[in-house]
Structure 1
Amino acid sequence: MRTIVSRLINSRSSVSRLSAITASGNGRYLSTDSNKVDEPLKVEEAETVNVPPPPSEKLLVLGGNGFVGSHICREALDRGLTVASLSRSGRSSLRDSWATNVIWHQGNLLSSDSWKEALDGVTAVISCVGGFGSNSYMYKINGTANINAIRAASEKGVKRFVYISAADSGVANYLLQGYYEGKRAAETELLTRYPYGGVILRPGFIYGTRTVGGMKLPLGVIGSPMEMVLQHAKPLSQLPLVGPLFTPPVNVTVVAKVAVRAATDPVFPPGIVDVHGILRYSQKSR
């Protein structure tokens, strides 16, 4: 008899639990006490928080309206960077649509008061500044101007600096003494100021379509075949005196691609990158 009563009590308890579970389907839930049903759970809508996107990297291209510099500006824009350019002439004469997205600054690197505001908010600099003329002029443009830029960027706290230098040219080093001495002086300054964030690219002949006086010169007609032949002749480029004659040309778009990568990739190794290294890094980034 006691067993029957016990079973009845247990069955009534089960019915009570079932009723509570059924009630929970109408917006109520079962508490730890099986005989108690709490009030409906109120869920408040989460507050929407506007989180600003991460700040874009800002790249300053020195000489951005030149042959190499303009390609670097375009490559950087394609990668979503904020791009500014500094040159003596200011805005580029190029009428390409991308040029309207560049912040153009006019200034002279030999005059410290005319351009330093262009470094505001800049996270990396790429310098394409260089020129030919008398030895004293070449040293100023290739050396002093770039040294001034490197020092100013370092003092401003710019993280990375990429310098487009030039490969040794054997006999031409003596004929263009001011040019190469200026380049090497700028390299020394960069390696001193930026031991961990400075990259020096040393291309040889840079080919591509140059615009001169409204005329387009397709230098790739000569440069492209030479590159295909000479990029496999690296041992010959090590020969004394004549070795530089076997340095392969490089496409301007390749230089631009590697320069922007060197300026924005924190794991890109600092130091000097020769033309063979430029070609190698361009293939890795494809």
Structure 2
Amino acid sequence: MKIVVSRLIQSRQSLSQFHAIAASRSGRYLSTDSNQVDEPFKVEEAETVNVPPPPNDKLLVLGGNGFVGSHILREALDRGVVVSSLSRSGRSSLHDSWANNITWHQGNLLSPDSWKEAFNGVTAVISCVGGFGSNSYMYKINGTANINAIRVAAEKGVKRFVYISAADFGVVNYVLQGYYEGKRAAETELLTKFPYGGVILRPGFIYGTRTFGSMKVPLGIVGSPLEMVLQHAKPLNQLPFVGPLFTPPVNVTAVAKVAVRAATDPVFPPGLIDAHGILRYSQQRSR
């Protein structure tokens, strides 16, 4: 009987040693105390990081000689991206030295045969194309022109496409029917052709210093204070009828920063980003 008990004790000791070795190899010990519980593994939500783009990135900006487009071009150059621009007027009238580092293409997006070659070797596209006029004209410029570009980009194997659209402003949508119908048609096409690499930015009023001929208009005098107030008033956007009027203005540099990041960061989430989202992404700290 003593022999049996002795062997049982030895067996329990051996089993305890085995568990201890196994636990030490896995990097954690299992407690036998009922009052102690292993802490669960903590998993933090993933976040995109502002990192320099790969050296082989080639970005094409549609409408690069406009107000928003020119800021996007400069932001892309600052991030070390190879950049080209496509617009109806071709080379920008800007005399800044950085403009010499841009490859300028001329073409009309309503006539695809005139500009398809500009998409050769391009890895990402940002479209700032849009305009005002009659309803039929606004639909063509905001809708058809961008849809043509999206389709050609898909055919050419472009990886990411960022579209600068516009926020809803309630009753304004009916006044500018062709403008918004065109924008939404282009958005639908983008999400269809680029379900994993399509990003739509919907800013409201974009402010910054605009140049009209030889005159510069500092729109930030009005836009900056409104942005500071309205960016913290997001619940007001949910008010019926007047809610969209509380969409905060966005600085043009913020739009450019987020647009370039969305075009060059492979883990940037696809889909719609409203004015509040643009402000949030633009304020994230670079790493």
Q: CA deviation at 1:72?
A: 0.1
Structure with greater contact order relative to length (CA < 8 Å, sep ≥ 6)? 2
TM-score if structure 1 supplies the norm length? 0.80
Alignment of 1:122-161 (within 5 A): 122-161=122-161
> Residue in 1 aligned with 2:4?
none
Tell me the residue number matched to 1:82.
82
Could you give the per-residue CA deviations for residues 118-138 of structure 1, whole angstroms, max 9, x where no partner exists?
001100000000000000000
AA aligned opposite 1:102: I
Distance 2:71 2:275 in 1: 18
Rounded to whole Å, the distance in 2 between the matches of 1:261 and 1:230 is 24
Amino acid at match of 2:278: I
- Residues 159-198 of structure 1, C-alpha deviation per residue, up to 9 Å, x if partnerless? 0000000000111100000000000000000000000000
1:102 match: 102
Contact 2:55 2:80 in 1 (8 A): no
SS of 2:267 mapped into structure 1 = coil
What is the CA–CA distance in structure 2 between the aligned matches of 1:224 and 1:283, rounded to whole Å?
A: 15
- Of all paired residues, the percent bearing the same amino acid is 85
| Distance in 1 (alpha carbons) for counterparts of 2:156 and 2:191 | 17
Alpha-carbon RMSD across the aligned residues, in angstroms, is 0.8
Letter in 1 for 2:158: V
1:153 maps to a residue whose letter is A
Output the CA distance in 1 between the equivalents of 2:153 and 2:248: 32
- Which structure has the bigger radius of gyration? 1
Question: Residue 104 of structure 2 aligns to a residue in which SS?
Answer: strand
How does 1:1-286 map onto structure 2 within 5 Å?
A: 55-286=55-286
Question: Residues 104-123 of structure 1: CA distance to partner in whole angstroms, max 9, x if unpaired?
Answer: 00000000110010001100
Secondary structure, counterpart of 2:162 in structure 1 = strand
Structure 2: runs of 5 or more not aligned: 1-53
Gaps of 5+ in 1: 1-53
TM-score (norm 2): 0.80
Q: What is the letter of the counterpart of residue 272 of structure 1?
A: L
Report SS of the residue matched to 1:158. coil
How far does residue 56 in structure 1 lie from its aligned partner after superposition? Answer: 2.4
Q: After the TM superposition, list the runs of 4 or more consecutive aligned residues in structure 1 that deviate by more than 2 angstroms.
A: none
Distance in 2 (CA, whole Å) between partners of 1:158 and 1:142 is 21
Q: Distance in 1 between matches of 2:211 and 2:101?
A: 20
Q: What amino acid is aligned across from residue 225 of structure 1 in structure 2?
A: P
1:238 Cα deviation from its structure 2 partner: 1.3
